[in-house]
């Protein structure tokens, strides 16, 4: 179905931070399949895990115990300090699990119609509950009636959360991205997550962090919430977890970990041996090659470079981000830059109409970072010099 507006290019091969199209032209990938291929393309550890598992056992069913799922579950809960995990196949599905968990938690506390606090300009996925939680009318338009039970407040606005808390005794959880991705790489104030944690503790809400885009080292920490010194009750992952093999996860801690019991949720494919082996290879490689700290230093290097090249350029409103999740906000819509970058052999993305988003693989090396800057900065300067003002 025509659900995607695709760029006129087909990639046939990848290696590290590079992709080749059908004509043999080479592109520097600064988007990683939208924050998915953190280890880059054709990583040997993922290939070996997949080939080995495909030759042994791809799928049985969650009717039975699954070794690869149990060991991935242990590894994931260990690095995240969470207690339990439910495996799904995508980000939206991981969020569906979190939403169901929150509702059940509410019912268990005697609230008949539990509600979840969500934020404006958020993105949580395209399934009906996830798009209802999403703070973007374009994602919802035409799909009414939306799923009920979401209360929306502006992002990075603690007063609005307090007001909602005072007025809505039906609230049981808060679902939020630690840094908004699709919404424009929006980094909240340093006290946002710690204060949300306190509010959740005060009202008995679950703090549910959507780390689907920010997780798995993307922001220079394994999970973006870590610098805030807090822990969520529920966290969702997908994207970088499988380096391109579809897998999602909903992790929970403390009381939240015991909410979903046998028969309350499930998935045919979720946590199958093939996907779990890929994710285990990702976790091993992130640790073995110190890729999370590499993402932090390469992210700082890129951020400094972008500021050096673009800070004083008229039309650049902000340059922000953490690790290798970076945004350059312009004062006007700039979607056409994606095609111009493509022609220049660089893959970038524009989100929220005017934010150039960079999500290069965590394995990006300094010379590739230099090349990224050398290809992108003149394009942005040229675009702003040519384009009519806002
Ligand atoms: C923060 C966040 N949550 C959820 C999703 C949905 O993930 P998926 O497309 O795997 O369903 C995305 C995808 O962009 C995302 O960025």
pLDDT of residue 311: 87
pLDDT of residue 387: 62
Residues taking part in catalysis: 123, 210, 239
What is the average per-residue pLDDT within 40-52? 98
- Ligand 1 within 6 A of 192 CB? no
pLDDT at residue 238 tops 80:
yes
Percent of the chain topping pLDDT 90:
98
- Ligand 1 within 6 A of 238 CB? yes
CB atoms within 10 A of CB 166: 9
What is the average per-residue pLDDT within 237-253? 98
Within 8 A by CB and 6+ apart from 171, the residues are 114, 115, 116, 117, 151, 164, 165, 203, 205
Q: What is the pLDDT of residues 330-345, one digit of tens each?
A: 999 999 999 999 999 9
Q: What is the pLDDT of residues 133-190, one digit of tens each?
A: 999 999 999 999 999 999 999 999 999 999 999 999 999 999 999 999 999 999 999 9
pTM of whole model > 0.95?
Answer: yes
Spacing, Cα 254 to ligand 1 middle (Å) = 25
Spacing, Cα 129 to ligand 1 middle (Å) = 13
**Cβ(311)–Cβ(96) below 8 Å:** no
For atom 8 of ligand 1, the residue with the nearest CA is 91
- Which residue blocks in the chain are alpha helix, DSSP H? 32-35, 44-54, 67-80, 91-108, 128-133, 137-140, 158-167, 192-203, 273-288, 291-310, 336-343, 366-386
Q: Which two tokens stand for residue 376?
A: 């992108």
The preferred substitution site among 124, 209, 235, 236 for testing ligand 1, maximizing ligand atoms within 8 Å of CB, is 124
């Amino acid at each position: 179905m025509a659900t995607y507006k695709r760029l006129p290019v087909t990639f046939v091969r990848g290696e590290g931070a590079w992709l080749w199209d059908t004509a043999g032209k080479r592109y520097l990938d600064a988007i990683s399949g939208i924050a998915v291929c953190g280890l880059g393309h054709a990583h040997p550890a993922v290939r070996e895990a997949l080939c080995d598992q495909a030759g042994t056992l791809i799928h049985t069913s969650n009717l039975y115990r699954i070794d690869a799922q149990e060991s991935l579950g242990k590894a994931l809960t260990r690095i995240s300090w969470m207690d339990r995990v439910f495996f799904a196949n995508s980000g939206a599905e991981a969020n569906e699990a979190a939403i169901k968990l929150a509702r059940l938690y509410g019912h268990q506390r005697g609230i008949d119609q539990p509600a979840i606090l969500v934020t404006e300009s958020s993105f949580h996925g395209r399934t009906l509950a996830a798009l209802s939680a999403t703070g973007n009318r374009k994602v919802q338009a035409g799909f009414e009636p939306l799923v009920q039970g979401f209360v929306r407040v502006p992002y990075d606005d603690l007063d609005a959360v307090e007001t909602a808390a005072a007025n809505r005794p039906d609230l049981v959880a808060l679902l939020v991205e630690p840094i908004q991705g699709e919404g424009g790489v929006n980094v909240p104030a340093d006290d946002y997550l710690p204060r949300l944690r306190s509010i959740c503790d005060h009202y008995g809400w679950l703090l549910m962090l959507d780390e689907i885009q920010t997780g798995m080292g993307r922001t220079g920490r394994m999970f973006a919430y870590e610098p805030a010194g807090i822990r969520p009750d529920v966290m969702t992952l997908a994207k970088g977890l499988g380096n391109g093999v579809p897998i999602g996860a909903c992790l929970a801690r403390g009381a939240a970990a015991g909410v979903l019991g046998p028969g309350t949720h499930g998935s045919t494919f979720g946590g199958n041996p093939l996907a779990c082996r890929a994710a285990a290879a990702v976790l091993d490689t992130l640790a073995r090659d110190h890729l999370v700290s590499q993402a932090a230093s390469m992210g700082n290097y890129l951020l400094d470079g972008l500021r050096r090249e673009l800070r004083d350029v008229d039309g650049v409103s902000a340059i922000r981000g953490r690790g290798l999740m970076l945004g350059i906000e312009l004062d006007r819509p700039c979607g056409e830059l994606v095609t111009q970058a493509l022609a220049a052999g660089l893959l970038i993305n524009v989100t929220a109409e005017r934010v150039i988003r960079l999500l290069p693989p965590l394995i990006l090396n300094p010379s590739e970072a230099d090349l990224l800057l050398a290809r992108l900065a003149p394009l942005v300067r040229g675009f702003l010099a040519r384009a009519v003002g806002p």
